[in-house]
Amino acid sequence: MNNLRVYRTVAGLRAHLEQLRSTQTIGLVPTMGALHQGHLSLISQAMAEVDLVVVSIFVNPLQFAPTEDLGQYPRQLEEDCQLCQTMGVDVVFAPSPEEMGMDTNTDVTSVTTTAVMPPHSMLSMLCGAVRPGHFPGVSTIVTKLFNIISPHVAYFGEKDAQQLAIIRRLVADLNLRIIIKGCAIVRESSGLAYSSRNQYLSQEEREQSLALFASLKQAQLAFAQGERQANALVETVKQVLALTPLVQVQYVDLVDPQTLTPLEQVEDQGLLAIAAYVGSTRLIDNVMLRVRQPIIAIDGPAGAGKSTVTRRVAQALNLVYLDTGAMYRAIAWLVLQSGVELSDYGAIAELVSQAKLEFLPPFEGKPPQIYINGQDISQAIRTPQVTALVSPLSAQASVRAKLVAYQQQLGKKGGIVAEGRDIGTNVFPDAEVKIYLTASVQERARRRLLDFQAQGEENMSLEQLEHDIEQRDYLDSNRCLAPLRKAVDAIEINTDGLSIEEVIDKILNVCPK
């Protein structure tokens, strides 16, 4: 078990992290304590994806109105630290309000320190409309945590969907170099979403609160049957909730999950959200409604057969094989043509950030095509000179950022199968199916030896190939940028002793029909 460090001061935390930052990726899980299974799922995902996990525990006065439950909100730091210790968390940051520069004033509009104000358009719906100071208070403290900890990744639950959208906007608007990960809602076996406030509920209230998720599921069913109109979907929720006397609805809204603007109908995706009082306890819940074909994300170590399998799975499902390798080759071709030195990171970032990339999937028998700045380079990217640049360029943050953003844009409508190191953890964390394709070092070395022998290469030994693969696995798993990680919700398939057809069948068996 690891040695959990608990820091109460900014100075102590910064000094601890500073000596580790250059060699380890840091993940932040911001909480207000009273940890439950929802928080633990965030911690589990962080543990699987980064090297060092910081959990902040701070009951933020700024996000409570004077009439809300700041004084009553559960505080159990000792128990929370024990849970973090058990989970393998590295650091808990538990500052006082004074350490965070706050006084007892809980009105964010009256504090004497700098406050962060999200766009008004993101505050006029959902919880923002009924809790006017809440999200400015959240945004202020989260920005402070980001500045204090400087995490590479921060993890937030999707239950607080408005908070997640606002934090993503904050990071984009302030040009913060932090990846924001939204993590799926975790529910009790009854369907009730985990919340620190659930402990306020009586047994009867707990039973009545199940109507929230039941109403959302009824709307999901209507959506699956073709209903797209917001009024009808909202009314479906309200009709179910009306049957439960202890549930007093505060709002039921359908909004764009990124901008939070109200929707009249769902074109691509919509966030259907509820806030209600069950007795005196305020609860929230939501579901995402998407109009898209599935995304299949296939990750795994080098030599596991991902490329061949991914192409065949895409063909079997009549989906698009997203050739991410061709995109990196396109950037390599552009850099090669520009004459920029590989060591000139600034010039490469300037060049790549302004490039217009276009990937055209196969159509009517035509092979996929890739354009950059309007020029078809589908054949030009297959030269040895381009190939030699792909690996060093893929290690540059500006190149990764450009291509991940483009791949995510292509994935909005779904209908794609993609493979890599972090497709399921970073590029498409909301993929409908995540596969982690692996094989033993010995099996991968054996396959590679057969490939070399088929090409007439007879001077390679199995022992050398095993050593090379072990080294590659270590480097891929420990790189700061896009390390090889298995997504916590990925299905692992070990391909030892399996034919390509058997691997494909296993994947197809777990894909939506």
Out of 183, 217, 242, a domain closes at 183
pLDDT of the residue at 110: 62
Here the CATH number for the domain that contains residue 276 is: 3.30.1300.10
Residues 333, 244 share a domain: no
Residues 206, 148 share a domain: no
pLDDT of the residue at 162: 98
Does 188 reside within a domain? no
- The tens digit of pLDDT for each residue in 194-244 reads 998 899 999 999 999 999 999 999 999 999 999 999 999 999 999 999 999
- Percent of the chain at pLDDT exceeding 70: 98
Residue 119 falls in which region: left (phi positive, over 0), alpha (psi -120 to 50) or beta: beta
**pLDDT at residue 108 is higher than 80:** no
Amino acid 44 reads S
Helical (H) or strand (E) element with 402: helix 397-410
C-alpha–C-alpha distance, residues 86 and 105, integer Å:
35
Residues 341, 394 share a domain: yes
**pLDDT at residue 111 is higher than 70:** no
> CA quadruple 417, 418, 424, 426: dihedral positive or negative?
negative
pLDDT of the residue at 1: 55
pLDDT of the residue at 366: 80
From 39, 120, 134, 467, the catalytic residue: 39
Helical (H) or strand (E) element with 214: helix 203-224
Range of the domain at 249: 198-290
- The tens digit of pLDDT for each residue in 11-59 reads 999 999 999 998 899 999 999 999 999 999 999 999 999 999 999 999 9
pLDDT of the residue at 23: 87
Residues 504, 408 share a domain: yes
pLDDT of the residue at 361: 85
In 3D, which of 311, 288, 285 has the Cα closest to residue 298?
311
Torsion of CA 44, 48, 54, 55, to 10 degrees: -10
Does 193 reside within a domain? no
How many domains does one find in the chain?
Answer: 3
* pTM of structure: 0.89
According to DSSP, residue 374 is labeled T
A 10 A CB-CB count for 256 gives 17
Query: What are the residues facing 441 on neighbouring strands?
Result: none
Here the CATH number for the domain that contains residue 379 is: 3.40.50.300
Does 37 reside within a domain? yes
Angle at 430 between CA 426 and CA 432, to 5 degrees: 125
- The tens digit of pLDDT for each residue in 159-203 reads 999 999 999 999 999 999 999 999 999 999 999 999 988 999 999
User: Residues annotated as binding site for ATP?
Assistant: 32-39, 157-160, 186, 194-197
Instruction: Output the CA–CA distances (angstroms, integers) from residue 124 to 109, 189, 260, 289, 506, in the order listed.
Output: 16, 33, 9, 21, 47
Out of 221, 256, 290, a domain closes at 290
- Long-range CB pairs of 385-388 (<8 Å, 24+ gap) are 385/336, 386/329, 386/332, 386/333, 386/336, 387/329, 387/332
Any catalytic annotation for residue 39? yes
**pLDDT at residue 105 is higher than 60:** no
Residues 213, 98 share a domain: no
- The tens digit of pLDDT for each residue in 299-326 reads 999 889 898 999 999 999 999 999 998 9
Residues 266, 122 share a domain: no
Residue 414 falls in which region: left (phi positive, over 0), alpha (psi -120 to 50) or beta: left
pLDDT of the residue at 221: 97
Out of 183, 216, 237, a domain closes at 183
* 3-class DSSP string for 43-106: HHHHHHHCCEEEEEECCCHHHCCCCCCCCCCCCCHHHHHHHHHHHCCCEEECCCCCCCCCCCCC
Q: What is the rounded average pLDDT for all residues in the chain?
A: 93
Here the CATH number for the domain that contains residue 121 is: 3.40.50.620
Residues 247, 343 share a domain: no
**pLDDT at residue 130 is higher than 70:** yes
pLDDT of the residue at 113: 79
Does 191 reside within a domain? no
Does 190 reside within a domain? no
User: Residues annotated as binding site?
Assistant: 32-39, 63, 157-160, 163, 186, 194-197
Average pLDDT on 403-410 reads 95
Q: How confident is the model at residue 482 (pLDDT cuts 50, 70, 90)?
A: confident
Residues 303, 272 share a domain: no
Residues 285, 301 share a domain: no
- Percent of the chain at pLDDT exceeding 90: 78
Phi first, then psi: give them for residue 293, nearest 5 degrees. -75, 165
- Long-range CB pairs of 286-291 (<8 Å, 24+ gap) are 286/158, 286/159, 286/161, 286/185, 286/216, 287/216, 287/217, 287/219, 287/220, 288/158, 288/257, 289/219, 289/220, 289/223, 289/233, 289/254, 290/414, 291/228, 291/266, 291/267
Residues 306, 217 share a domain: no
Residues 492, 398 share a domain: yes
Does 405 reside within a domain? yes
User: Residues annotated as binding site for (R)-pantoate?
Assistant: 63, 163
- The tens digit of pLDDT for each residue in 132-149 reads 989 999 999 999 999 999
Average pLDDT on 389-398 reads 91
Does 354 reside within a domain? yes
pLDDT of the residue at 109: 57
Does 44 reside within a domain? yes
User: Residues annotated as binding site for beta-alanine?
Assistant: 63
Residues 166, 47 share a domain: yes
